[in-house]
């Protein structure tokens, strides 16, 4: 990004947009000028920052790319913990895992924080109509105080093809006690033209069904198509209300299993899909840093046996399945965005799209999340708002998912809870060249130890220490992104880096509080 372009962007945004986003509406009537901006909050499960708008043109994501062309792409946005519930709990409360006490998939943040005010709850308490659908909070860990009406997950079959299903397991996406109601799913079993999996029927499956499925069925056979249908209908209803809204739309793919209609598989040539360039464990990394040949994916049929590497032929198929799932969800995003525009709501709606964490597709010999490495901690984040006349920009400023809460509240002019542990990056939306955070932080537990990871502009530095006594350090990791962007070699033990390790340890010990932006923002934490 050259300086001239940054200057133009900054000037145009300063003149046109923030903080109200209402200049377009003000030309129509004084009443409209006072309207609060709506928020369309799009969450996508297990989505890597591997999209066309991230420079990965082999991924076909035209609809998310179109959103990016009207907004700003954050190339270095980091979740707080690379697994669904901890990441989402932190984002939606604006607090980090050690505060929410959510490090697993079963703990609700209100156990530790009964009086927390979530992001949608803040909007609700300030006159917004808030509604959630699909996967927003993790699984069944919904939060009733967040919504004006009950949260909804459309019931849909997990698989369209009978041969994909696991024996003695309900073929339902989402909660196991949700009854399957989709007629399309029954039709899909008749219409499916391709088999659901490869020849590895004796793989690591443990009752979850096939790891992927390619079926010639309509988009709304699966849950995400139904979520898009519901979002479209809801937008029509909201357009008739004289009340600002916060609409949270959660898509589950590309979460496992990788199922999507055949037309999205047909976009890709499987053999041309490149495999991970580093299918090996990082040199000199502690043996617990990454779950190699292990994890959720090994619980599905069609996967290679647990504890063994994935053969290249299967790796091609798995990446094909993941890419098809991404393109499928991209199409659903496009349907929702088209309706937003058709209703004229785009003129006064802030749109944010985020993935809850990254995912390893064979990097470091692993298939999954559950670690502190860049592939897992770095996740997609795109924001578009009315008044961004020089949109389509990217920033490599370091931002964290705990920053999303104060940012959206800041954009809407809402008061911020003093409990927030992030910083509004609204100033970056005005001027992407501003100096910003000096580090982002994420973490991941391993039994009795916790790995706390710090990402600076150049380095990833991870401290593995006792959960209860952080002075008891078990091991360190250090990766130089200038010379080793794939994080293939841990250089923390190299005597030549002793002074660097000391410097990074000093920075790490300052915590997130000591690495905030030098720029003053409206957040009480900055």
Q: Which of 75, 88, 122, 93 is closest to 411 using CA atoms?
A: 122
DSSP state of 152: B
Which tokens belong to 357? 């964490």
Q: Please check the confidence at residue 439 and state whether its pLDDT lies above 70.
A: yes
pLDDT tens for each residue of 118-169? 999 999 999 999 999 999 999 889 999 999 999 999 999 999 999 999 875 6
Question: What's the pLDDT at 174?
Answer: 54
| pLDDT band, residue 173 (cuts 50/70/90) | low
Which tokens belong to 441? 């932080």
Is there a catalytic annotation at residue 214? no
Contact between 422 and 459 under an 8 Å Cβ cutoff? The reply is no
What's the rounded Cα separation, in Å, for the pair 467 and 81? 15
What's the rounded Cα separation, in Å, for the pair 424 and 521? 7
What is the pTM assigned to this prediction? Answer: 0.89
Which of 138, 255, 320, 364 is catalytic? The answer is 138
What's the rounded Cα separation, in Å, for the pair 135 and 44? 8
What's the rounded Cα separation, in Å, for the pair 74 and 57? 17
Q: Please check the confidence at residue 201 and state whether its pLDDT lies above 90.
A: no
Q: Please check the confidence at residue 524 and state whether its pLDDT lies above 90.
A: no
- CA angle, 436 then 493 then 473, to 5°: 75
Beta bridge pairs of residue 130: 246
Q: List, in sequence order, every beta strand (DSSP E) within 1-44.
A: 38-44
Question: What's the pLDDT at 497?
Answer: 99
pLDDT tens for each residue of 310-352? 999 999 999 999 999 999 999 999 999 999 999 999 999 999 9
State how far Cα 277 lies from the chain centre.
23
pLDDT-above-90 percentage for the chain: 81
Q: Which of 209, 204, 193 is closest to 158 using CA atoms?
A: 209
3-state secondary structure 417-481: CCCCCCCCCHHHHHCCCCCCCCCEEEEEEECCEEEEEEECCCEEEEEEEECCCCCCEEEEEEEEC
Q: Please check the confidence at residue 23 and state whether its pLDDT lies above 80.
A: no
| pLDDT band, residue 208 (cuts 50/70/90) | confident
Beta bridge pairs of residue 163: none
Cβ contacts of 50 within 8 Å, gap of 6 or more: 56, 59, 326
b/e string for 311-344 if b means 16 or more Cβ within 10 A?
Answer: eeebbbbbbbbbbbbbbbbbbbbbbbbebbeebe
Which tokens belong to 187? 């039709």
pLDDT-above-70 percentage for the chain: 84
What's the rounded Cα separation, in Å, for the pair 103 and 82? 10
Is there a catalytic annotation at residue 255? no
Q: Which domains does the chain have, with CATH numbers?
A: 3-421+438-515 (3.40.720.10)
What's the rounded Cα separation, in Å, for the pair 147 and 150? 6
Q: Please check the confidence at residue 177 and state whether its pLDDT lies above 70.
A: no
Question: What's the pLDDT at 176?
Answer: 33
- In the block, tokens 């696991």 appear at 166
Q: Please check the confidence at residue 20 and state whether its pLDDT lies above 70.
A: no
pLDDT tens for each residue of 354-398? 999 999 999 999 999 999 999 999 999 999 998 876 689 999 999
Q: What is the DSSP string of 354-419?
A: EES---EESGGG-EE--SSSHHHHEE-EEEE-TT-TT-SEEE---EEGGGHHHHHHHHHTPPPPTT
Which of 22, 79, 84, 214 is catalytic? The answer is 84
Question: What's the pLDDT at 12?
Answer: 40
pLDDT tens for each residue of 32-51? 445 899 999 999 999 999 99
Helix (H) or strand (E) holding 129: strand 129-134
Question: What's the pLDDT at 34?
Answer: 57
What's the rounded Cα separation, in Å, for the pair 396 and 289? 26
Q: Is the bond preceding residue 19 a cis peptide, omega within 30 degrees?
A: yes
Mean of all residue pLDDT scores within the chain = 88
Per the rule left: phi > 0, alpha: psi between -120 and 50, beta: everything else, 287 is: alpha
């Amino acid at each position: 990004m050259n300086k001239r372009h940054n200057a133009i962007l900054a000037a145009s945004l300063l003149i046109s947009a923030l903080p109200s986003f209402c200049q377009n509406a003000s030309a129509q009537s004084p009443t409209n000028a006072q309207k609060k901006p709506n928020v369309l909050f799009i969450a996508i499960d297990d989505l890597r920052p591997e999209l066309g708008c991230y420079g990965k043109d082999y991924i076909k994501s035209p609809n998310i790319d179109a959103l990016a062309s009207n907004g700003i792409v954050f190339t270095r946005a980091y979740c707080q913990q690379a697994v669904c519930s901890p990441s989402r709990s932190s984002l939606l409360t604006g607090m980090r895992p050690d505060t929410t006490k959510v490090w697993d998939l079963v703990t609700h943040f209100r156990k530790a924080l009964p009086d927390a005010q979530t992001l949608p709850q803040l909007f609700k308490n300030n006159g917004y109509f808030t509604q959630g659908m699909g996967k927003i909070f993790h699984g069944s860990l919904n939060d009733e105080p967040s919504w004006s009406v009950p949260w909804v997950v459309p019931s849909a079959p997990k698989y369209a093809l009978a041969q994909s299903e696991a024996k003695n397991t309900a073929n339902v996406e989402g909660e196991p006690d949700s009854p399957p109601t989709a007629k399309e799913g029954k039709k899909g079993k008749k219409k499916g033209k391709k088999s659901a999996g490869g020849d590895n029927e004796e793989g690591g499956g443990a009752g979850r069904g096939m790891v992927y499925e390619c079926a010639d069925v309509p988009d709304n056979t699966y849950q995400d198509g139904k979520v898009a249908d519901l979002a479209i209908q809801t937008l029509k209803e909201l357009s008739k209300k004289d009340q600002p809204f916060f609409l949270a739309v959660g898509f589950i793919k590309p979460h496992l299993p990788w199922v999507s209609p055949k037309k999205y598989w047909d976009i890709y040539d499987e053999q041309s899909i490149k495999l991970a360039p580093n299918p090996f464990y990082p040199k000199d990394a502690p043996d617990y840093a990454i779950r190699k040949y292990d994890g959720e994916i090994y619980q599905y049929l069609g996967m290679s046996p647990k504890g063994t590497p994935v053969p290249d032929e299967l790796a091609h198929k798995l990446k094909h399945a993941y890419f098809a799932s991404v393109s499928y969800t991209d199409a659903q995003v496009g349907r929702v965005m088209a309706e937003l525009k058709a209703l004229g709501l785009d003129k006064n709606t802030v749109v944010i799209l985020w993935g809850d964490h990254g995912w390893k597709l064979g990097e470091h010999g692993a298939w999954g999340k559950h670690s502190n490495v860049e592939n897992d901690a770095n996740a997609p984040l795109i924001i578009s708002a009315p008044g961004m006349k020089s949109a389509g920009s990217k920033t490599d400023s370091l931002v964290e998912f705990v920053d999303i809460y104060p940012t959206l509240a800041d954009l809407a002019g809402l008061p911020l809870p003093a409990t927030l542990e992030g910083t509004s990056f609204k100033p970056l939306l005005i001027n992407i060249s501003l100096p910003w955070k000096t580090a982002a932080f994420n973490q991941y537990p391993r039994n009795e130890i916790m790995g706390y990871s710090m990402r600076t502009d150049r380095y990833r530095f991870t401290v593995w220490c006792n959960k209860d006594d952080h002075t008891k350090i078990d091991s360190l990791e250090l990766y130089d992104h200038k010379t080793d962007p794939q994080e293939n070699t841990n250089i923390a033990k190299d005597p030549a880096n002793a002074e660097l390790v000391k410097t990074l340890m000093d920075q790490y010990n300052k915590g997130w509080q000591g690495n905030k932006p030098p720029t003053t923002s409206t957040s009480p934490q900055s």
